[in-house]
Structure 1
């Protein structure tokens, strides 16, 4: 037992020695000219290269912590980093921040449709908007499609009937159909007999 006890003490002493040596080295590094930020330096005293490196390391770490803490919350509770927040949601599209603002404004009913390199972000049609367009008896069915599309397209910005007329012929019709579908004009399922 004595032999076992001596080996255990020797082993414990080695660990304690290594710990104390490491602790001593760390204290030496701190005492090697590192000036804490809360201690003022005397006037005209230039920081040593070791102090400059230590201060730069502290500043870099603080910046990284600040960047890590910048989290943005989306409309539906999804969290985004700052990089994700300012990046386009889809290629050649609006930023995540813009999309989340639109989702907030339109109660989450924001969609996108790609057309051969063009991206359209749109929202659903409200009942008052529908009534206004349908109420104009001078409009044809094609005119209505264009007005529905003009009202609901959020991106590209400043989308207008003039731009619709200059674009490919089917875009307004397809977008209008999708807008009407998501606006509740198409049943999601067949009627069920009770």
Structure 2
């Protein structure tokens, strides 16, 4: 029986996470804590006996480094890796690089909350989660899902919102409920899929 294993990991804490800045497509490095979170993700997966056939990540270094550190812990440093901007974080546009408190002072608490937590209202010059889904989901359906359904064990290291786009489909979320679905940094979520691409089982190693 083929495994049909899909594991999603949000990157470890970045320098801008720590500074409470909107990050989006900007490219800060991991913090020391983020490095440890990435290593711990690999250690958790190794402890549970997981190995992988291929991996996907974004073109942003915090996700790539998380993947590399996790694979090092797994002893799989030669794993084939595909990098694609379709898996990039949601683009925060004009908010990118701003402190979240400063943004609230400039545009108001309510407006910033709408940009952050509504499904389909984008910040100026940026993407809503709906836009991110429109970018990320087709890539998943055409590039990642077929590999999983062929029986490959696939690891995806990406970002809070690009992974939410995948989780929205995997876990049958509505536009309202997906906004409340939190993803801890460096905490693997493990899915085994049925032959029809639905989820047979799920394990959240953050729980």
TM-score of Structure 1 vs Structure 2, range by shorter chain: under 0.3
Rg comparison, structure with higher value:
1
Normalised by the size of structure 2, how large is the TM-score?
0.20
TM-score, scaled relative to structure 1: 0.21
Q: Where is the helix percentage greater, Structure 1 or Structure 2?
A: 1
Bigger RCO of structures 1 and 2 (CA < 8 A, at least 6 apart): 2
